[in-house]
Structure 1
């Protein structure tokens, strides 16, 4: 007797096998890939500008520090954590808070600053404002950075915070936020006061914050001569501003920033310079003479430029695809919007620079176009010389169960 297979049973078994395959495929699609905290892709190193020279450095001033501005790398220091009187270099923080207030929309360059009796009473270097006199915020910035006016600094402090006392509180709060561990502000202008101290490192920190976040400061710090118009009850008169920072005419590439002197502080300076795209900050404190201060600043900056070379990568990332989990697409195209510039130190070479693409892990959908997904970092050995962000070039939606089921069915019946 011939027996024919039961077609219904065969159909049920075939469907069971098919559903099993579909289930496995869906599981595979939704499975996350285990791995390390970072997905790392090694890249080729690219072009640089080379040259270096090392020299022995002698600094006569009791305290100093030399910093590369873009990275904050300390290139040289001498007794840089001793708290000392900073004199008018204090005004770097006054200017930083003023620029932050402008950046936050709390005031504009055209707003009016009214000079109070208290501000007008300041001694030392001043612009000889009278109580009740009005100047624009921009002109007050010029008076602070060019002429080092103590009256201008206090008037600006009152404009920003309502009173010098409230402003000093802001100064100390901002110093703490920036990690200026030895800084203690007692006034907004730098006149000698008990406990008004900070270290060379502290000054380099606030100087770096000012020039990197608000490079417009250089529109004012590099001005050699300017003038304002005094507007008083007696009428109007021109007042000439001459930059107290003679270092501007002494060093090629000098851009600022602020000098200071009191009998207690002696000669101090936060000197900034830029050559070939490399920006350095040299802080001098407690120099016995102006000549010593300026010569030490020159030595520091010369040393820094002999130590540094610029590394530029114009081809950070060819647009490429990276795997993404749980997305309607299996990959997402990534991009970067900028070139990379970093600083190599003496003994470091372009061929030793390693690029690492460090992406979120796990990288899962959804992601929006333009969303930051990771960064390209640049290393010399263990030292990171900088990084640039990496973005999604397209939107990738997350995969729903319905989408996954339909996709698997299409795959199943395609083959």
Structure 2
């Protein structure tokens, strides 16, 4: 029996080694700026904060401190104008300006439109008087008329800011007079401008160069020129852009179509503007240029616009049918192929001399890919970046969505779950398999010994007695 036991022991050792080897083959779980201002031809600018986007494809063209807290100065009046328009009665309705409209304005050295106490003025004239000459008197009048007090009107401004997602913004007055608790960011102002420019009345006033109001105590009317366009001229065709002409002291620029200036000593010179040329529209906000008789804020905008219109052009970097990701969806029994594409041509504003092969296109899934997947479900993102600069710059980020639904196979998913259980319970599974094999071997050997014993017994019975 000892010899037989040794044979059984050797067989068990071989089986254990085989089990360990097979366990190692168990399948694993299925898985799933550099800033443009660094470029050699970019103009020298004075503003500390600059933010520029392409209005048509939402591409960020330039970003210098767009999320830094700034004082908006009279750029505040963009929100004042928007809230006044949305809460105003008919534009042709009129009101009489009481002395409370003008209280404290002279002491604060606020800019005014030139209205007089006791004057009857239309809402439309007040809106233009608020924006073009940056009139704090018009701001006060609109606030009193529409909300009862400036404080109540400011509440409406802050409510609107919250509704637009301007999380870094807080207003305390309607005109932008300096207050430490009156602040915003360039990105927040972009949100405001994008929304407000969809309003036809806002857009018309924002782009107006000159306007004549007809309040009751000004028989000849009040003529206002935009604080922005007062410093601009399209100039002769042969005159260089973004220069101040000697005879008019105006900046030559043929692309800026609207904007709002701002100025206080803490805020510096500020400007929010839009430009359009050759079918391309830009939005640009600059802040904290040095306070000076030289309009650095407008010069900066003119230089930046001229630079982009001269050196940049729209180029197709992805076609609608270009495959960005091709894979198989786990746990799908049939037709499990998944192909993701942009869905439409992706056109970006890029340097005219840029080699498109230097662009980096990275596809990243949100999580391990597996069924079930519904049609239109977000699966990840694709990032398009420039790599020809010292610091890679993300130019565009797109969502990747599933073109159709994928149902999960219960059979494949059940097998996967079993694999997971085996992986997470390796020792228990190995011992269970080993124990089962040992039991089978012992049972086999027991039956074999039983047969030998019974066979020997029969032979002894058949042996004749002497």
* Among candidates 45, 51, 58, match of residue 67 of structure 1: 51
Q: How does 1:331-370 map to 2 (within 5 A)?
A: 331-332=337-338, 334-344=340-350, 349-370=355-376
Residues 329, 371 of structure 2: 8 Å contact kept: yes
Query: Are 2:74 and 1:88 aligned?
Result: yes
1:58-85 deviations in Å (ceiling 9; x for gaps) = 45x5x443322244454668xx96956x
From 315, 326, 330, the counterpart of 1:325: 330
2:209 to 204, 212, 224: 224
Q: Which residue of 1 aligns with 2:227?
A: 244
Matches of 2:135 and 2:89, distance apart in 1 = 18
Question: What secondary structure is seen at the aligned counterpart in 1 of 2:123?
Answer: strand
Alignment of 1:93-112 (within 5 A): 93-95=79-81
- The residue that corresponds to 1:34 in the other structure is 31
State the alpha-carbon separation in 2 of the partners of residues 288 and 368 from structure 1. 59
- Check the 8 A contact 2:321/2:344 in 1, yes or no: no
Q: What runs of 5+ residues in structure 1 fail to find an aligned partner?
A: 1-26, 36-51, 406-415
Work out whether 1:313 is the aligned partner of 2:296. Answer: no
Q: More relative contact order in 1 or in 2 (CA 8 Å, sep 6+)? A: 1
CA spacing shift, 1:392–1:119, aligned 2, 3 Å: farther
Residues 377 and 384 of structure 1 are in contact (CA less than 8 Å); yes or no, is this contact kept in structure 2?
A: yes
Note the residue ranges of structure 2 that are not aligned, 5 or more in a row: 1-25, 33-37, 106-110, 234-251, 416-466
Q: Deviations over 1:86-119 (max 9, x none)?
A: 54222134356679xx6xxxx6996999868688
Q: Report the count of equivalent residues.
A: 339
Which residue in the other structure is 1:188 paired with?
174
Query: Do the aligned partners of residues 326 and 204 (structure 1) sit closer, same or farther apart at CA in structure 2, a change above 3 Å counting?
Result: same
* TM-score, normalised with respect to structure 1: 0.60
Match of 1:385 among 364, 382, 395: 395
Give 1:358 deviation, angstroms.
Answer: 2.7
Q: Does 1:125 align with 2:112?
A: yes
- Aligned partner of residue 253 in structure 2, secondary structure: coil
Output the aligned Cα RMSD.
5.0
Q: Measure the CA separation in 1 of the matches of 2:102 and 2:319.
A: 57
Aligned 8 A contact 1:171 1:185 in 2: yes
The CA deviation string for residues 22-63 of structure 1, in whole angstroms up to 9 with x for no partner, is xxxxx99xx96224xxxxxxxxxxxxxxxx97347445x5x4
Per-residue deviation, 1:337:
4.3
Instruction: State whether residues 245 and 258 of structure 1, in contact with CA within 8 Å, keep that contact through their aligned partners in structure 2.
Output: yes
| 2:406 is the alignment partner of 1:396 | yes
How far apart, in 1, do the equivalents of 2:261 and 2:401 lie? Answer: 42
Given that residues 280 and 304 in structure 1 are in contact (C-alpha distance below 8 angstroms), is that contact kept between their aligned partners in structure 2? no
SS in structure 2 opposite 1:272?
A: strand
1:244-263 alignment to 2 at 5 Å? Answer: 244-246=227-229, 247=231, 249=233, 250-261=252-263
1:186–1:193: 8 Å Cα contact kept in structure 2? Answer: no
Three-state SS of the structure 2 residue aligned to 1:88 is helix
In the alignment, is the contact (CA less than 8 A) between 2:265 and 2:291 conserved in 1?
no
What's the counterpart of residue 191 of structure 2? 209
2:432 corresponds in structure 1 to none
| 1:387 shift after superposition | 1.8
What SS does structure 2 have at the residue aligned with 1:355? strand
Q: Is the 8 A contact 1:358 1:374 kept in 2?
A: yes
- Superposed, which structure 2 residues align to 1:145-184 within 5 Å? 145-154=131-140, 163-168=149-154, 174=161, 178=166, 180=168
Distance 1:56 1:364 in 2: 47
Change in 2 beyond 3 A, CA 1:118/1:188: farther
Structure 2: how far apart are the matches of 1:119 and 1:395? 64
More strand by share: 1
Structure with bigger gyration radius: 2
Q: CA deviation at 1:226?
A: 4.5
- Contact kept, 8 Å, 1:355 with 1:376, in 2: the verdict is yes
Q: Who is 1:135 aligned against?
A: 123
* CA offset digits 1:218-253 (Å, max 9, x no partner): 4442222356676x8x9x998665433215534221
| TM-score where L is the length of structure 2 | 0.55
Residues 170 and 403 of structure 1, relative CA distance in 2, 3 Å threshold = same
